[in-house]
Amino acid sequence: MGLESLRVYRNLLKAVKKHIGTQGTKKHFTDYITQEFRNTSSLTDPKLIKHKINLASNYTYMLNSIHHHQNLLFSYNIAVDRSEEMTRTLRKSAGSVGLQLPEVYRA
C-alpha cells in the first residue's frame, strides 16, 4: 500500500501545482494534501486507507480531465480570440526543441 499511496500523492501534487498553482492564496491546497497524506499514514484500517487513496486518485483524474476539457473547448471555439492560445502553443513548441520565440510573438 505504501508505494501506491506515494504514487497517488506525487501525482496529486503534480496536478494541483500544474492546474491550480501554488502562489500565495492557493498554497493551502498543497498544505491540505500534505497534511491528509501524513494523517493517512498513521491509520490502521486498510479499508479507510484504500478509500482515501481512491479519493485522491479520483480527484487527480478529475483535475487533469477538467483541464484537458477546458483546453479542448478553447481550441474548438472559433468565436473566441485565440491569439493568446496560439502564442502559448508556439512558445511550447519552440521550448520543446530548445528555442525561443522571436520578439514579434513575445508579450
Domains of the chain, residue spans: 3-76, 80-106
Q: If you average pLDDT over residues 69-73, what whole number do you get?
A: 82
pLDDT at 57: 93
Cα–Cα distance, 68 to 66 (Å, whole number): 5
Predicted confidence (pLDDT) per residue in 45-64, tens digit: 888 888 888 999 999 999 99
**Average pLDDT value for the chain:** 82
pLDDT at 11: 93
**Contact between 82 and 76 (Cβ < 8 Å):** no
pLDDT band at 105 (very low <50, low <70, confident <90, very high): low
3-class DSSP state of 82: coil
